[in-house]
Amino acid sequence: MQILGILAFVVALLLSVMIHEFGHFLTAKHYGMKVSEFFLGFGARIWSTKRGETEFGIKAIPAGGYCRIEGMVPTDVMEAGEEDRAFYRASSGRKLIVLGAGSFLHFVLGYILIFILFAGVGVNQLLPTISQISPKSGAAAAGLLPGDTVLAINGVKVRDWINDVKAIRNSGGKSLSLEILRGTQTQTITATPTQEIIDGKPRWILGIINKVGLKRTNPIRSLKNAGLVTRDFTVASFKSLGQLPSKIPALWGQSVGGKKRDANGLVGVVGVARASGQALGSTKLSFAERIATFILIIASLNIFVGIFNLLPLLPLDGGHMAVAIADEVRAFFARLRGRPRPAAIDVTVLTPITMVVFVLLAALTLLLLFADIVNPVNLNL
């Protein structure tokens, strides 16, 4: 099952790459740019077919994909009569949309996966079913039993235990009418909360411990919850990127020095694939919980990749977007001075900077690969 989990991650990753490139493809075609190739993978062609002017296909090395838009730089040669379809001839606004479309779809995909999690699979939360009863408590005195499910409190139907339990905490010690389901029978029990000091504060409790399990939410609420979780993942991704340089020394020590790998530290693609395999192959989790964990991994990965790709560094899309913004800034100052619009920045001039960034990213990738192989993260699932 763990191997199937790794394979599922690889398929999900390749689909994410394809969706990213499809964002570039759709927006480029919308603005009349010429897209000559759309391939999944790199290296030698395994299969391809041509639709219109675009060749679609699969290549031998499944390490990403690409969408080839003609005329990315002024030195690219366009076919006669198609010079205006070159990418570099487009307005900066259109360039930004085409370049940002890939990352945008990562966010969309992450949001959709989280929505599916809430509405279709469910997330772990407190259920209204009782798992344990504290002795000498109000619940014990009232005759509540493990396995009872609380359906309503004082006539108010229980929908979300985290919120509905406030009726107990705010009872002031007054007796509560509980409608419960015991087996197949519904009955009403009156229970009186008792006061205890919890975390230094007095609180009214019944003395019950609820079961934890997966629970689905309605589609409308799932839309909101998915947005909140997407926001949280986005904030966490920004924080992780900000902390990335400071975590590299620790990663080096864990890779070479044999220190225990930090589960909250840096993890590469191999590490995430292994974690996905552990999640889907876990014997400690139910099938639904394994699916939920896998969905969370893929969703969070898409959001992180979407943000990472927007970093203003060449050769990332964010680097090309930064160049397009710089073009507009230069054009703005030219207008203020009454001068004609300057020529677009030729990104080939920035090749030395691009190569430095590429080498640094490649070095980090190799370090992560080494760490994920010799000292992998264990989620204890």
Same domain for 84 and 27: yes
Which pLDDT tens digits describe the chain residue by residue (381 residues)?
A: 678 888 899 899 999 999 999 999 999 999 999 999 999 988 999 999 999 999 999 999 887 889 999 999 888 889 888 999 999 999 999 999 999 999 999 999 999 999 999 999 999 888 999 999 999 899 999 999 999 999 999 999 998 888 888 899 888 889 999 999 999 999 999 999 998 887 778 889 999 999 988 889 999 999 999 999 999 999 999 999 998 888 888 888 887 777 777 777 788 888 898 888 888 888 888 889 999 999 999 999 999 999 999 999 998 999 999 999 999 999 999 999 999 988 888 888 888 989 999 999 999 889 888 888 888 877 766
Q: How far apart, in Å, do the first and last CA atoms of the chain sit?
A: 13
Domain that holds residue 145: 124-215
Residue that finishes a domain, picked among 186, 215, 244? 215
Closest to 274 in 3D by CA, of 372, 380, 381, 375 = 372
How many folded domains does the chain comprise?
A: 2
- At residue 369, the pLDDT reads 87
Between CA 85 and CA 79 the distance in angstroms is 10
Predicted TM-score (pTM) of this structure: 0.86
- At residue 25, the pLDDT reads 97
Structural contact between residues 267 and 368, judged by C-beta atoms closer than 8 angstroms: yes
Same domain for 6 and 106: yes
Does residue 55 sit within a domain? no
* Kind of pairing between the strands at 176-182 and 156-157: unpaired
Closest to 309 in 3D by CA, of 64, 93, 102 = 102
Does residue 327 sit within a domain? yes
**Tokens of residue 99, six digits:** 């370049």
Same domain for 266 and 154: no
Same domain for 222 and 256: yes
Same domain for 325 and 286: yes
Does residue 41 sit within a domain? no
Same domain for 107 and 95: yes
Does residue 61 sit within a domain? no
Does residue 197 sit within a domain? yes
Between CA 261 and CA 370 the distance in angstroms is 12
Same domain for 288 and 211: no
- At residue 381, the pLDDT reads 66
Does residue 154 sit within a domain? yes
Does residue 64 sit within a domain? no
- At residue 232, the pLDDT reads 95
Residue that finishes a domain, picked among 197, 215, 233? 215
Same domain for 147 and 95: no
Does residue 170 sit within a domain? yes
Task: Residue 138: give its domain's CATH number.
Answer: 2.30.42.10
Reported in sequence order, the residue ranges of the chain that DSSP labels E, i.e. its strands, are: 35-51, 54-69, 123-133, 149-153, 156-157, 176-182, 185-191, 194-198, 201-205, 208-215
Q: What are phi and psi of 141, to 5 degrees?
A: -65, -30
Same domain for 359 and 278: yes
- At residue 93, the pLDDT reads 92
